[in-house]
Structure 1
Amino acid sequence: MLSEEFVSAICGAPLTSNTAIAKDIGIYCHTLSPTYSAKSTFKKSSAPVNSLAVSETHVFAAQHEKAYVHVYSRLRGNQEAFVAFPERIRCITLAGDVLILGTTEGRVMLWETCTGRLVSTPPRHVQAVSCVAATPFHVLTGSDDSDIHVWALAQLLELDSTAEHEPERSLPNHRAAITALSVSSSVSYDTNFCVSASKDKSCIIWNYQTGDALRTLLFPSFPLCISLDPSSRALCTGCEDGSLYLTELFADKHLLGAQSEDAATVMQISSPFGATQPDAGPASCLSLSYDGTVLLTGHPKGQILKWDVADNKTPVELANLNAAVTNIVFISPFPNEKKVTRPANIVKPSQAERTYTFSTQLMESDLAGPESRFDALLNSAGFPQEVLEDAIAALQQPTAASVGAGSNEKEQELQKKNDELWEIINEQRALQKRTLQKYVEAKSGQA
């Protein structure tokens, strides 16, 4: 059975003097299936909402109201680095080996963890960057100033130090602070979209490459956290009043696509998927599993609840971490087959250096890959024995067998005509042979 794992982070002091929970633990690694268990922990971290990022080798956690990021090694199970930045960090995310950070001064910073290169943009947001999302080609930043900026990732990472760092476009429809961003996994120009949540009690679905608002969703209270399912067909929303909403984007009444209504139509979302108990508080973070069947929510009172999306049953409490749960991140169960390197150790960022050290591990299995039939033939001396045997067997295979092994009626008809022609030819040969024999006998009798 496929194992599912996720990482959670807490923020703040312990709620009670619970001796069953070890002190100073700020990050937990969990196994969800086949059986839930707490796999490992990392100490000395207090990460606010939207401040946790997980790669194949490391865990990055921005610290509450500080200009620090703690880096933990998943391979060695310890804290690897303590990284200081020029400004306080409000939110982070990963785009490959690049850690993207939003600051309280409205800047975006990009740290190449393999080289230590640090790129910083001017403060394009008037207020703090509250959330950030990334795709292989774009970076999206939401701010307390109610604006969303879309940046080209390649442009931000170009080596020209004199280049101007400007967003490609802005998405300005919200009227209050942005609380969360979620982006679809598609990279198609026509089908990729993102969803933004705001304190104006709305979520807006955008085509972020064109800047078009595709749909506006209104909720009874403002959304705190959102998550798109893995296939981007449904949106999960956790609101300030403790309600959870599951909005299907392509149900009987399409919200997106050619069959949807006019984009100017505002949809009122009023039927909750579920509601948390008052003793747990509203969900401060949520995340969907990679098959889209399980929803996990983290709460200010320390609970991590598991919701069954299909059956919509009463949630199950997986754990109580005795502190406000602020981040839940699922770890992909699928290896990145295209990636041929991975960072063994991160390189601390520096803006002063102009030469950088690249530190990584070459993954031999990914470099070699499975040997194709063409590679085997190319690297062999002459024709391999196996190939010769297959060719001889194909030539010796009876024609009738190939015809009767699933040929269509036309082929069978042609084969029948071919057999009849051979029959006529054989009769003519036999007649010719008999005629020649009589001629030879007649000639010998005359002699």
Structure 2
Amino acid sequence: MLSEEFFSTICGGPLSSNTAIAKDVGIYCHTLSPAYSVKSTFKNSSSSVNSLGVSETHVFAAQHEKAYVHVYSRLRGNQEAFVPFPERIRCLTLAGDVVVVGTTEGRLMLWETCTGRLVSTPARHVQAVSCLAATPYHVLSGSDDSNIHVWSLPQLLELDSAGEHEPQRSLSHHRAAVTGLAASPSTSSETNFCVSASKDKSCVIWNYQTGDALRTVLFPSPPLCLSLDPSARAICVSCEDGSLYVTEVFAEKPLLGAGAEDLSATVPVSSPFGATQPDVGPASCLSLSYDGTVLLTGHPRGQILRWNIAENKSPVELANLNAAVTNIAFVSPFPTGRPTKTVNIVKPGLAKGAYAFNSQFDAGLMPETRFDSLLNTRGFSQEAVESAITAFYQPATESAGDQDLQRQNEELWEIIREQRALQKRTLQRYAETKSSR
């Protein structure tokens, strides 16, 4: 069975004197399936909401109301670095090997972990950057000033850029602070979209490459956080009144697409998927598993609850971390496909003009053989199955090597038959001689 793992962070001191929980642990690595357990922990961290990034080799945690990031090595299981920044950090996300942070001054800072290069944008937000989302080609930043900026990732990382960085466009539809951002995994300009949540009690679905607001969803209470299904089929939202909403994007009455009604109309949502108890409080963070069947919510009083999307039953408490849970992030079960991996990060602050790439090859430099392809594929690849089926329908053909082997076998059998005949004649003569005596 495929193992599912997720990371969680806490912020603040312990809520009770529970000696069963270590006081100095700030980041937890959990195994969700096949059986729940705490796989590993990392110490000395206190991260606020939207401040966690998990890569294949490292964990990046921006510290609450601080100007530095703690970096932990997943391979070695320890804290690898303490990375300071010029301004206090409000949120953090990953774009491949690039750490993107949003500051309280309204600017973005991009840190290339393989080179140590640090790129900073002007303060295009007039208030703090509250949340970030990254795609292969874009970075989206939401702010307390109610605006969302769309940045081109290649332009931000351009080496010869001399001018000031500017966002490609701004999405200005909300009337209050933006509390959450999530982007679909698609890279097509026709099908990719992002979803933003705001304290104005709405979520807006955007085509962020054109700047069009595709649909506005209105909730009874201000959303605190949101999560998008890995296949971009549903939006999960947690509100201040403790209610959870799961809104399908492509349902019987779809929000988007050819079958959608008037896109300019606001869609009110009044029926929650579930609600938390008053002693638990509203979810401050949530995340959907990669198969879209399990929703995990983290709460200010330390609980991590598991919700079954398909069965819609009462939630199950997975753990109580004895401190406010601020981030939950699933680990992707899919291989990255990159030929290198960052084993040791390079701190920002290299001299201007110096650019050295520090990484490790994750595979051999020789061309991949058919055996390597079959070995690295989960199950049987489509090519191997088609080749096997085709072989059943083709008549067997004898190669030159098979013909040579068959000739050698026939020569050996001829020698064996001669030896058997000689042995038979020898036994007959022996029997005749013995009878004549």
TM-score (norm 1): 0.83
Match of 2:83 in 1: 83
Structure 1 residue identity aligned to 2:169? R
Tell me by how many angstroms 1:353 deviates. 3.0
Structure 1 residue identity aligned to 2:353? R
Tell me by how many angstroms 1:368 deviates. 4.5
Structure 2 residue identity aligned to 1:303? Q
In the alignment, the residues of structure 2 paired with residue 167 and residue 368 of structure 1 have an alpha-carbon distance, to the nearest angstrom, of 41
Match of 2:369 in 1: 371
Q: Deviations over 1:413-432 (max 9, x none)?
A: xxxxxxxxxxxxxxxxxxxx
Match of 1:349 in 2: 348
Match of 2:415 in 1: none
The SS at the match of 1:10 is: strand
In the alignment, the residues of structure 2 paired with residue 38 and residue 222 of structure 1 have an alpha-carbon distance, to the nearest angstrom, of 33
Is structure 2 residue 198 aligned with structure 1 residue 180?
Answer: no
Count of aligned pairs between the two proteins: 379
The SS at the match of 2:155 is: helix
Q: Deviations over 1:286-307 (max 9, x none)?
A: 0000000000000000000000
Tell me by how many angstroms 1:352 deviates. 4.2
Is structure 2 residue 239 aligned with structure 1 residue 242?
Answer: no
Contact 1:303/1:317 (<8 A) preserved:
yes
Match of 2:293 in 1: 293
In the alignment, the residues of structure 2 paired with residue 194 and residue 352 of structure 1 have an alpha-carbon distance, to the nearest angstrom, of 37
Structure 2 residue identity aligned to 1:291? D
Structure 2 residue identity aligned to 1:109? M
Contact 1:113/1:348 (<8 A) preserved:
yes
With over 3 angstroms needed to count, the CA separation of the structure-2 counterparts of 1:147 and 1:30, relative to structure 1, is same
Match of 1:66 in 2: 66
Q: Which has the larger radius of gyration?
A: 1
Match of 1:361 in 2: 360
Tell me by how many angstroms 1:369 deviates. 6.2
Structure 2 residue identity aligned to 1:310? A
What is the root-mean-square deviation in Å for CA atoms of aligned residues? 1.7
TM-score (norm 2): 0.84
In the alignment, the residues of structure 2 paired with residue 200 and residue 94 of structure 1 have an alpha-carbon distance, to the nearest angstrom, of 27
Structure 2 residue identity aligned to 1:354? G
Q: Deviations over 1:213-269 (max 9, x none)?
A: 000000000001111111101110000110000001111111101111122110000
With over 3 angstroms needed to count, the CA separation of the structure-2 counterparts of 1:266 and 1:345, relative to structure 1, is same
In the alignment, the residues of structure 1 paired with residue 39 and residue 395 of structure 2 have an alpha-carbon distance, to the nearest angstrom, of 57
With over 3 angstroms needed to count, the CA separation of the structure-2 counterparts of 1:362 and 1:220, relative to structure 1, is same
Match of 1:282 in 2: 282
Structure 1 residue identity aligned to 2:281? G
Structure 1 residue identity aligned to 2:165? H
Segments of structure 1 that go 5 or more residues without pairing to the other structure are 376-389, 397-447
With over 3 angstroms needed to count, the CA separation of the structure-2 counterparts of 1:351 and 1:104, relative to structure 1, is farther
Structure 2 residue identity aligned to 1:8? S
Counterparts of 1:39-438 in structure 2, within 5 Å, are 39-336=39-336, 338-350=337-349, 352-364=351-363, 367-368=365-366, 370-372=368-370, 393-394=396-397
With over 3 angstroms needed to count, the CA separation of the structure-2 counterparts of 1:236 and 1:286, relative to structure 1, is same
In the alignment, the residues of structure 2 paired with residue 199 and residue 358 of structure 1 have an alpha-carbon distance, to the nearest angstrom, of 42
In the alignment, the residues of structure 1 paired with residue 128 and residue 186 of structure 2 have an alpha-carbon distance, to the nearest angstrom, of 28
Tell me by how many angstroms 1:161 deviates. 4.3
Structure 2 residue identity aligned to 1:208? Y
Match of 1:27 in 2: 27
Tell me by how many angstroms 1:370 deviates. 4.0
In the alignment, the residues of structure 2 paired with residue 330 and residue 392 of structure 1 have an alpha-carbon distance, to the nearest angstrom, of 50
Tell me by how many angstroms 1:23 deviates. 1.7
Deviates more, 1:347-356 or 1:257-266: 347-356
With over 3 angstroms needed to count, the CA separation of the structure-2 counterparts of 1:154 and 1:361, relative to structure 1, is same
Match of 1:444 in 2: none
With over 3 angstroms needed to count, the CA separation of the structure-2 counterparts of 1:262 and 1:391, relative to structure 1, is closer
Contact 1:101/1:108 (<8 A) preserved:
yes
Tell me by how many angstroms 1:163 deviates. 2.8
In the alignment, the residues of structure 1 paired with residue 151 and residue 313 of structure 2 have an alpha-carbon distance, to the nearest angstrom, of 41
Q: Deviations over 1:155-180 (max 9, x none)?
A: 00000241320000000000000000
In the alignment, the residues of structure 1 paired with residue 395 and residue 20 of structure 2 have an alpha-carbon distance, to the nearest angstrom, of 72
Segments of structure 2 that go 5 or more residues without pairing to the other structure are 374-392, 400-437
In the alignment, the residues of structure 2 paired with residue 285 and residue 363 of structure 1 have an alpha-carbon distance, to the nearest angstrom, of 33
Q: Deviations over 1:59-86 (max 9, x none)?
A: 0000000101000000000000000000
- Percent of counterpart pairs with the same letter? 74
Contact 1:119/1:351 (<8 A) preserved:
no
Match of 1:379 in 2: none
Match of 1:421 in 2: none
The SS at the match of 1:364 is: coil
Contact 1:304/1:318 (<8 A) preserved:
yes
